[in-house]
């Protein structure tokens, strides 16, 4: 494998010729290509289109203190080689522009709008010039992620530059919804262009819960930043803390003890379980099927109470520590987990049988909110939504972490891409998760639960990743010389998946939107940060 990766990389270098200025290994799993900014679109398109790399994340960084330039990192994942290639380019502060990659690579769209808002690096030729992270009333010339912008500076509100798609025809009704919704839901603003009941077009205005998390992390000691990381999202807390801890451990070139790896895997699957079961129940709210909602909520509560008894927290916060885990489990707790899961499995199966044999439920779910494979691939959709559309990505299998290479599991894939497929994926994955946990409990190794960390090298980057219940999550980290965070970028699954929702609702009726939205089950907090 090592040899083939080397050959594959050197062949790639040949094909790209003088477009690549230098190529160096950042870690065993990551190679960095330095390119001139003018070559950026060509090189990225080559890696994505010719070499079939997935756009994994993109990070903009103010490195003027280090070498006088801004830097952009486009990271591509090559799952079959279990390798990442990062395309890096430096941008002169005197000309803070770069040619947009999003023109050819739609998945880069949001990332480039983000670096424009937060760092003031302008993508030339970008198809959508509207602000993204900062709303229209933020002054256009202030960029909070620049190092010279103080963390707590409150900018004045200016005349809003906000714009929604105007509709020419009088037959199109504009329906604005949110940001505050009717239930206990997170805030987002949706604007439907509808003809009668049918949705012609949807514009989503997000990032209402943007808290400035990444900026707040800068200068923070790593131990404290772990707490910040696990508060990125309430219900994927463990996925985020694991991804952050893995980034730190990769930077320190530390391998965590086998018992810690197994325990992380165990708790990560418990996180997936309570989420997936709760989500299957919640989908039922999309068509007023109260029995399903209640049963889902009851089983979710059963699992969260198990979390609390075993890990001390209903949302599994505080489980991970840098270098391992904080929570160990006893033989009695192993028994308790096994018993609770046996109960949940039986009850969940009853709920699923009820749901899938209910004509009205099936009728509402089937053929509703179809996301095509083509769109899923172009937007680099991840997680449940990807697998329901025939796109087989699961970072647990593709780039294994924790103890996922020690257990066997099947990654379900459906082709249709409708609400029903997304529900089916969750149902299948619940059973897979229970099977994974059974294997882990059976073969849990003894030994230490953490390894101390060495001092971390400054100004080098590392990534940690995790398949959260919503899909692949990536944390990109750079540490400064004082062992505090220099730059931290979180790319959650929802960040990748939100742009797909407007495509999936097109042609559906307005009353089906809540159902479609629930089937994607995207959260706002980790997307907005």
Q: Which residues form the interface with another protein (CB under 8 A)? A: 134-135, 138, 144, 149-155, 179-180, 182-187, 207-213, 215-216, 227-228, 231-235, 237, 294, 297-298, 300-301, 304, 314-315, 317, 523-526
* CA dist., res. 157 & res. 132, Å (int): 16
Shortest reach from residue 167's CB to another protein, in Å: 25
Q: Which is nearer to another protein, 393 or 490 (CB)?
A: 490
Shortest reach from residue 442's CB to another protein, in Å: 30
Shortest reach from residue 156's CB to another protein, in Å: 11
Q: Which is nearer to another protein, 25 or 160 (CB)?
A: 160
Q: Which is nearer to another protein, 77 or 217 (CB)?
A: 217
Best CA proximity match to 230, nearest among 273, 278, 279, 267: 267
Best CA proximity match to 498, nearest among 296, 268, 265, 207: 207
Shortest reach from residue 216's CB to another protein, in Å: 5
Q: Is 523 annotated as a binding residue?
A: yes
Q: Is 214 annotated as a binding residue?
A: yes
Q: Is 466 annotated as a binding residue?
A: no
* CA dist., res. 149 & res. 258, Å (int): 43
Q: Is 329 annotated as a binding residue?
A: no
Residue 438 sits at φ, ψ, to 5 deg, of -60, -45
Shortest reach from residue 138's CB to another protein, in Å: 8
Residue 480 sits at φ, ψ, to 5 deg, of -85, 175
Q: Per DSSP, what are the bridge partners of residue 418?
A: none
| Residue length of the chain | 529
Instruction: Report how many helices (DSSP H) and strands (DSSP E) the chain contains, helices first.
Output: 19, 15
Cα 318 → chain centroid: 20
Shortest reach from residue 94's CB to another protein, in Å: 25
Q: Which is nearer to another protein, 91 or 526 (CB)?
A: 526
Q: Which is nearer to another protein, 384 or 403 (CB)?
A: 384
Q: Which is nearer to another protein, 166 or 183 (CB)?
A: 183
HSE of 205 in the Cβ direction (CA atoms, 13 Å)? 20
Q: Is 233 annotated as a binding residue?
A: yes
DSSP states of 259-276 as a string? HHHHHHHHHHHHHHHHHH
Shortest reach from residue 163's CB to another protein, in Å: 16
Q: Which is nearer to another protein, 96 or 212 (CB)?
A: 212
Task: Kindly report whether the peptide bond that precedes residue 296 is cis, defined as omega within 30 degrees of 0.
Answer: no
Best CA proximity match to 417, nearest among 520, 269, 488: 520
CA torsion angle 399 405 407 413 (round to 10): 20
H-type alpha helices, 357-462: 359-365, 373-378, 383-388, 395-398, 419-443
Binding site per annotation, positions for Fe cation: 236, 526
Q: Residues annotated in the binding site, as ranges?
A: 214, 233, 236, 490, 523, 526
Q: Which residues are annotated as a binding site for Ni(2+)?
A: 233, 236, 523
């Amino acid at each position: 494998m090592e040899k083939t990766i080397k050959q594959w990389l050197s062949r790639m270098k040949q094909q790209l010729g003088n477009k690549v200025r230098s190529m160096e290994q950042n870690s065993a799993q990551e190679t960095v290509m330095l390119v001139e900014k003018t070559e950026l679109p060509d090189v990225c398109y080559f890696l994505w289109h010719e070499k079939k790399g997935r756009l994994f994340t993109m990070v903009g960084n103010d490195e003027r203190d280090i070498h006088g330039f801004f830097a952009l990192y486009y990271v591509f994942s090559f799952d079959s080689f279990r390798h990442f290639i990062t395309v890096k380019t430096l941008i002169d502060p005197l000309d803070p522009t770069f040619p947009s990659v999003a023109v050819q690579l739609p998945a880069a769209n949001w990332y480039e709008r983000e670096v424009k808002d937060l760092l003031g690096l302008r993508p030339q030729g970008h198809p959508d010039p509207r602000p993204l992270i900062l709303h229209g009333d933020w002054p256009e010339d202030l960029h909070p992620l620049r190092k010279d912008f103080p963390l707590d500076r409150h900018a004045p509100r200016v005349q809003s530059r906000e714009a929604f798609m105007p509709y020419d025809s009088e037959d199109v009704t504009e329906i604005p919804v949110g940001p505050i919704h009717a239930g206990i839901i997170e805030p987002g603003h949706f604007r439907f262009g509808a003809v009668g009941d049918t949705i012609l077009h949807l514009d989503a205005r997000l990032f209402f819960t943007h808290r400035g998390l990444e900026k707040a992390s800068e200068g923070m000691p790593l131990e404290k930043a772990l707490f910040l990381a696990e508060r990125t999202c309430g219900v994927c807390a463990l996925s985020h803390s694991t991804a952050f801890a893995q980034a730190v451990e990769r930077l320190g070139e530390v391998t965590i003890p086998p018992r810690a790896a197994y325990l992380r895997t165990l708790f990560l699957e418990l996180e997936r379980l309570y989420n997936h079961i709760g989500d299957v129940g919640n989908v039922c709210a999309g068509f007023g099927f109260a029995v399903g909602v209640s049963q889902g909520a009851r089983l979710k509560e059963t699992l969260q109470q198990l979390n609390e008894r075993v890990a001390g927290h209903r949302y599994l916060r505080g489980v991970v520590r840098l270098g391992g885990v904080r929570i160990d489990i006893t033989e009695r707790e192993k028994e308790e987990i096994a018993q609770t899961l046996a109960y949940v499995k039986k009850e969940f199966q009853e709920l699923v049988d009820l749901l899938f044999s209910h004509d009205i439920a099936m009728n509402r779910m089937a053929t509703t909110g179809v996301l095509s494979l083509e769109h899923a691939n172009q937007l680099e959709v991840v997680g449940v939504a990807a697998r329901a559309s025939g796109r087989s990505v699961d970072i647990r299998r593709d780039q294994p972490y924790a103890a996922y290479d020690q257990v066997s599991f099947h990654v379900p894939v459906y082709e249709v891409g409708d609400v029903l497929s997304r529900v089916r994926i969750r149902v299948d994955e619940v059973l897979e998760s229970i099977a994974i946990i059974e294997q882990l409990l059976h073969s849990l190794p003894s030994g230490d639960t953490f390894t101390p960390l060495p001092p971390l090298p400054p100004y080098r980057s590392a990534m940690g990743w995790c398949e959260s219940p919503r899909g692949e999550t990536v944390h990109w980290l750079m540490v400064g010389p004082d062992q505090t965070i220099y730059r931290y970028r979180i790319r959650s699954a929802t960040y990748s998946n939100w742009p797909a929702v407007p495509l999936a609702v097109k042609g559906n009726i307005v009353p089906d939107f809540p159902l479609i939205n629930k089937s994607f089950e995207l959260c706002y907090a980790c997307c907005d940060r």
